[in-house]
Chains A and B, each alone.
Chain A
């Protein structure tokens, strides 16, 4: 057997930035392990549909400089932190100095906090399944630590704008860690955008630790350009009675990969994961989710929808793992897919592993096209074919778009969807 290909040595050069010592040490330690990191191929189960889109050439090993002016002009209601190529831009950010809530860049952490953080990074992720995300831990140059003291409530959503701007090829490694204390509450919006047309990779890791009774809503909106290879991982640890709600909305590109891993570690925790993916042309999008029911009496509810047009390719892999002690678990997973063209491809795989005997667990996956009879019904009322197609396609995801709890995100999503409809459905 041929040995699996390994990472280009260009990725082994030390990364820059001025991190506090404990974080720099973690990064170095992780970096030394990269030499053996096997690259995914089509024989690698969790990358089998996506490895062909992954290009980790030498020029990708260059870390993008945090230079230039942020092109972000988003009218953001609430608080905003802008990361340009993974580095925080204080002048473009606007967030309050609030009681009980601290937002700090890694660079500014004191030694104790940096030691505490270094001991926690990567703990919310299963490193075997997010192998490419290990590059992030080896190469991040800055990051954002958001801490909520017990009972703290952020009164407005916090937008984290991840922006990639480059004049040449290279990579960015945004890194976020959220520690939500007991009974604290926050709504986080991560928005990924990009400018320029150079071949770039955004390798991003966000980890969230929800204390007892914490309530966190996370919205992820991927609007990056065609040229971007996006590899994202989100890890969530949930303590007793905490609640996590996730809304992932993504539009395709060269490579889009998001691994969302949730561990329900404390009794009575619950999570709700919604996802909408839209791809067109030769775009790609791959969502891998894992829900670990570790403790008893936890609930999980997952609903993902993919829409693929033209020759695009969308993938959904949803894993639910109910551990032996997780009695009275309640897990529900649903994935529906809409193919808008004969050339489009959708691959979906629900994976259930259940080791407890007293659980309720349901899953369903379907792939279909727009319903001809519904279409006939609509046009028989004088509605144009294009409009009828839009109504039916929108109907497929409406429920999920409406559930996004931040109005500007719904509007941005709808605007981008309208663009998609414009390009996909022509008037007969």
Chain B
């Protein structure tokens, strides 16, 4: 489904991604782990089409189509979804209006008719319950005054509404307490499907206890330095990134040490 070959990307002249290679097939769940500054978030942003990053080399295809030639909105319509690490607050645009506009943009792209306000409200209420978000949040400004956990649940709610082909979850577990983590994980697991792939980007392995990946990759210094199965994450938790010869700036927060602090 997604094929990344020798991807290089920089921001403000500084190279962050230094040759990423990754193949993801439909139905698979991949986790990318790595210390802060390794390029995890950059990879997510680049795939979603953030123009702040410059692609200097390499190619990315989604089902054979050159992804890098598409505008952000076209990528989304082709099925790329990025759950933001820091969802943006947009006062003045109601969450409901935002979600309905997005869903209708997708439907329009697929040649389907728009959903009217009543139809959409019904759907949105159902999905908001699925992520345990009070439907009252639909009336508020997009993410406006939401807690960290509420923002993350709102991201997963969007994924459930938009039904992407590839869902990229950027640090979706950060800032969540145990209960919220459970809710968010249930939402993500509900997304798992034969024709859909999920790419999880995370610093810690704890999310992977709830959403079990098929493959785990370790990103360091802008490259994938090791790939393996689920057991690789457990090994990282056990031994820290240092085991792979990677310096983790946040040793105190490294997976092995941090797991008990939640």
Give chain A's interface residues, CB within 8 Å of chain B: 371-374, 376-385, 387-388, 391-392, 394-399, 428
Count of inter-chain pairs, beta carbons less than 8 A? 77
Q: Are B106 and A382 in contact (CB under 8 A)?
A: yes
Q: Are A382 and B90 in contact (CB under 8 A)?
A: no
Q: CB of B101 within 8 A of chain A?
A: yes
Given pairs A384-B105, A387-B101, 4 additional interface contacts (CB within 8 A): A377-B90, A380-B76, A383-B98, A428-B71
B150, chain A: closest CB distance, angstroms: 16
Q: Which residues of A contact B158 (CB under 8 A)?
A: 381
Interface string of B101-142 (1 = CB under 8 A from A): 110011001000000000000000000000000000000010
Q: Are B76 and A391 in contact (CB under 8 A)?
A: no
Q: CB of B97 within 8 A of chain A?
A: yes
Q: Which residues of B75-103 have CB atoms within 8 Å of chain A's CB atoms?
A: 75-77, 81-82, 84, 87-88, 90-93, 97-98, 101-102
Bound together, the chains give a CA A399 to CA B141 distance in angstroms of: 11
Q: CB of B48 within 8 A of chain A?
A: yes
Q: Which residues of A contact B97 (CB under 8 A)?
A: 391
Bound together, the chains give a CA A107 to CA B92 distance in angstroms of: 47
Give chain B's interface residues, CB within 8 Å of chain A: 48-52, 71-73, 75-77, 81-82, 84, 87-88, 90-93, 97-98, 101-102, 105-106, 109, 141, 158, 162
Q: Are A380 and B90 in contact (CB under 8 A)?
A: no
Q: Are A382 and B109 in contact (CB under 8 A)?
A: yes
Can you show 19 pairs from A to B with CB atoms below 8 A apart? A373-B88, A374-B88, A376-B48, A377-B84, A379-B49, A379-B73, A380-B72, A380-B73, A380-B84, A381-B81, A381-B98, A381-B158, A382-B77, A382-B109, A383-B102, A385-B73, A387-B105, A388-B73, A391-B101
Q: Are A392 and B93 in contact (CB under 8 A)?
A: yes
Q: Are B88 and A382 in contact (CB under 8 A)?
A: no
- Of the listed residues B82, B90, B141, the one surrounded by the most CB atoms of chain A closer than 10 A to its CB is B90
Q: Which residues of A contact B73 (CB under 8 A)?
A: 379-380, 382-385, 388
A146, chain B: closest CB distance, angstroms: 35
Q: Which residues of A contact B162 (CB under 8 A)?
A: 381-382
- A383-B105 contact in complex given A378-B98, A428-B71, C-beta closer than 8 Å: yes
Q: Which residues of A contact B50 (CB under 8 A)?
A: 376
Q: Which residues of B contact A381 (CB under 8 A)?
A: 76, 81, 98, 102, 105, 158, 162
Q: Are B76 and A382 in contact (CB under 8 A)?
A: yes
Bound together, the chains give a CA A397 to CA B92 distance in angstroms of: 8
Bound together, the chains give a CA A395 to CA B101 distance in angstroms of: 14
Closest to B49 in A: A380
A372, chain B: closest CB distance, angstroms: 8
Q: Which residues of B contact A388 (CB under 8 A)?
A: 73
Q: Which residues of A contact B102 (CB under 8 A)?
A: 378, 381-383
Q: Are A391 and B93 in contact (CB under 8 A)?
A: yes
A103, chain B: closest CB distance, angstroms: 38
Q: Are A379 and B76 in contact (CB under 8 A)?
A: yes
Bound together, the chains give a CA A372 to CA B45 distance in angstroms of: 14
Bound together, the chains give a CA A380 to CA B48 distance in angstroms of: 7
Q: Are B105 and A395 in contact (CB under 8 A)?
A: no
Closest to B105 in A: A382
Bound together, the chains give a CA A237 to CA B89 distance in angstroms of: 41
Q: Which residues of A contact B109 (CB under 8 A)?
A: 382
Bound together, the chains give a CA A394 to CA B77 distance in angstroms of: 24
B181, chain A: closest CB distance, angstroms: 23
Q: Which residues of A contact B48 (CB under 8 A)?
A: 376, 380
Bound together, the chains give a CA A381 to CA B76 distance in angstroms of: 6
- A379-B90 contact in complex given A391-B97, A391-B98, C-beta closer than 8 Å: no
Bound together, the chains give a CA A372 to CA B91 distance in angstroms of: 15
Bound together, the chains give a CA A392 to CA B91 distance in angstroms of: 9
Bound together, the chains give a CA A22 to CA B81 distance in angstroms of: 73
A403, chain B: closest CB distance, angstroms: 13
Bound together, the chains give a CA A145 to CA B201 distance in angstroms of: 70
B103, chain A: closest CB distance, angstroms: 8
A238, chain B: closest CB distance, angstroms: 31
Q: Are B92 and A376 in contact (CB under 8 A)?
A: no
- Of the listed residues A373, A378, A428, the one surrounded by the most CB atoms of chain B closer than 10 A to its CB is A378
Q: Which residues of B contact A392 (CB under 8 A)?
A: 90, 93
* A-B complex: 9 closest residue pairs judged by Cβ atoms: A395-B92, A382-B76, A381-B102, A377-B88, A379-B73, A382-B105, A379-B72, A398-B92, A395-B93
Q: Which residues of B contact A394 (CB under 8 A)?
A: 92-93
Bound together, the chains give a CA A392 to CA B90 distance in angstroms of: 8
Q: Which residues of B contact A398 (CB under 8 A)?
A: 92-93
Which of A380, A385, A391, A397 contacts B82 (CB under 8 A)?
Answer: A380
Bound together, the chains give a CA A236 to CA B26 distance in angstroms of: 68
Q: Which residues of A contact B93 (CB under 8 A)?
A: 391-392, 394-395, 398
Bound together, the chains give a CA A379 to CA B81 distance in angstroms of: 11
- Of the listed residues A379, A381, A385, A388, the one surrounded by the most CB atoms of chain B closer than 10 A to its CB is A381
Bound together, the chains give a CA A392 to CA B89 distance in angstroms of: 11
Bound together, the chains give a CA A394 to CA B94 distance in angstroms of: 11
Q: Are A383 and B87 in contact (CB under 8 A)?
A: no
Bound together, the chains give a CA A391 to CA B90 distance in angstroms of: 10
B74, chain A: closest CB distance, angstroms: 8
Which of A372, A374, A399, A428 contacts B90 (CB under 8 A)?
Answer: A374
A90, chain B: closest CB distance, angstroms: 43
Bound together, the chains give a CA A86 to CA B71 distance in angstroms of: 53
Closest to B84 in A: A377
Q: Which residues of B contact A377 (CB under 8 A)?
A: 84, 87-88, 90
- Of the listed residues A371, A380, A395, the one surrounded by the most CB atoms of chain B closer than 10 A to its CB is A380
Q: Which residues of A contact B49 (CB under 8 A)?
A: 379-380
Q: Which residues of A contact B71 (CB under 8 A)?
A: 379, 385, 428
Bound together, the chains give a CA A379 to CA B45 distance in angstroms of: 13
B9, chain A: closest CB distance, angstroms: 16
Q: Which residues of B contact A428 (CB under 8 A)?
A: 71
B55, chain A: closest CB distance, angstroms: 16
